[in-house]
Amino acid sequence: MLFFVVSGFLSACDNGDSADRTFTIAVISDTQNYVDFSHQKKEGYPIDAAELFIQQMQFLAKNTQAHGGEIAFATSVGDVWQNYEIGMDDAHYERGMRRLPRLLGLHLQMGAEKVNAGVRDFELPLTRRGYDMLAATGVPFSVAPGNHDYEKWWTVNPVPSDAEATEMLIEDNIRTNTHVGGYDVFNGVFGPDSNYFNGKNWYISSFNGGVNSAQIFEAGGYKFLHFGFEMQAGDDVLEWAQGVIDEHPGMPTMMSTHDYLNPRGERLAAPSMDLAKFDPAGHNSAEDIWNDFIKRNDQIFMILSGHQIGQATRIDKNDAGHDVYQLLSDYQGRGQVAAQGSQASRASSTGDGWLRLMEFYTGLDVPVIKVRTYSTYYEKYSFDVAEYANWYRDLEQPNMTDEEFHSADHFEIELNDFKKRFGNPN
């Protein structure tokens, strides 16, 4: 039986009602390889990776507060499913962007018809099955789209009006960038009119049909505001979010988005998919979002992201001189389960059931977050797995020692200025 154990941390609390000030936020990171239709036995894969996804969602559902657990909120940082169509959505085409005639990913191996059918008939129904379990508990949650959750992928020509440059790009494969677009599929699953969010009083706002959303949840004596942002969100998204903040001043606020930190803790996009670089009219870089939105709003104290394989944490001061905690967690490259005990490889990547669990203790004089990494497959925390660094370090953080790697997935954050900013718990 899957169950969540708080690991005895309550003994560290310093007042009688500490248990009422304890809760967990679960971060669901990059489930794409579990949900991928090609990562199932019927397609020749060594395991049915879908079982690992269902295990994760069962675990989360069973450990929500409604079921006697600690999880008060769950957030997905995107790449919920894996596959997409090759092409360009109408909105980008109308803005003048053009695509290079090149196939990507599984479309080269299996053909577009099979890939599209795999998404329609397997990946989307599986996603709904998993999130139905979570939604049935009534727990507030957010899903931000990753690049794999957009409808269309294409290789973009950065100079679409220059035919000679286009020919050069195709021939030499230089200065190209993969781009994504199209909201309809994601919004059809996770939009404001979906069964997940329609009529929920904690789902307070959305933008662009649901790829951006805002939620409110209560936990630990505080009322929190949370944003789910589309990938490398544009100025219009920041304007919408500022309006939501202005309507909810002073509320401790978090943001989940797909691509924000890299494994070195830098606010840099992966070079292969830098949307802001080649489409600055529609996207902002992580550094731009930090400068133009996050650090100007003192109530934003935490940013969560995935996309780039590995983990990282950085803390910066905002314009008010207060700390903003920025965390990357992306375990999609882990492949021990599919490799059946051999060294993990990208060819067998699924994620091995790993989740990030953030245990908040707001009853302390200085609130603390215990950041933990837990596998619903192994039913263990990272620090309980002796082979943990041997399995994953070389893929994710080759420059770390074993001790540093363990510490990157098992650590504490002291919220030194939290009560100064947001007061005592109610």
What's the pLDDT tens digit per position in 391-419?
Answer: 999 999 999 999 999 999 999 999 999 99
C-alpha angle 304-307-228 in degrees, rounded to nearest 5: 40
**Rounded mean pLDDT, 78-101:** 89
**Rounded mean pLDDT, 84-91:** 90
Measure the CA–CA gap between 306 and 374, rounded to whole angstroms.
Answer: 16
Confidence label for 96 from pLDDT (cuts 50, 70 and 90) = confident
**What pLDDT digit, counting tens, does each position of 177-199 carry?**
889 999 999 999 999 999 999 99
C-alpha angle 357-355-264 in degrees, rounded to nearest 5: 90
For 240, how many CA atoms within 13 A lie in the half-sphere containing its CB? Answer: 20
Confidence label for 161 from pLDDT (cuts 50, 70 and 90) = very low
For 15, how many CA atoms within 13 A lie in the half-sphere containing its CB? Answer: 13
Provide the terminal-to-terminal Cα distance of the chain, rounded to the nearest Å.
35
Concatenated DSSP letters of 263-305: TTS-----GGG-HHHH-TTT---HHHHIIIIITT-TTEEEEEE
Encoding tokens for residue 315?
A: 């803390």
Secondary structure class of 167 (helix, strand, coil) = helix
Q: What is the mean pLDDT of the chain?
A: 89
| Prediction pTM value | 0.91
**What pLDDT digit, counting tens, does each position of 216-263 carry?**
999 999 999 999 999 999 999 999 999 999 999 999 999 999 999 999
Secondary structure class of 126 (helix, strand, coil) = helix
List of residues 6+ apart from 222 with CB closer than 8 A: 252, 362, 422, 425, 426
Closest CA to 149 of 326, 31, 310, 26: 31
Closest CA to 393 of 336, 340, 355: 336
Choose the weakest-confidence range: 146-150, 175-179, 285-289.
175-179
Residue 238 CB coordination number (10 Å): 19
Q: Is 299 left (phi over 0), alpha (psi -120 to 50) or beta?
A: alpha
Contact between 283 and 234 under an 8 Å Cβ cutoff? The reply is: yes
Q: For residues 300-338, b (16+ Cβ closer than 10 Å) or e, as one string?
A: bbbbbbbbbbbbbbeeeebeeebbbbbbbbbbbbbbbbb
Measure the CA–CA gap between 411 and 12, rounded to whole angstroms.
Answer: 15
For 291, how many CA atoms within 13 A lie in the half-sphere containing its CB? Answer: 6
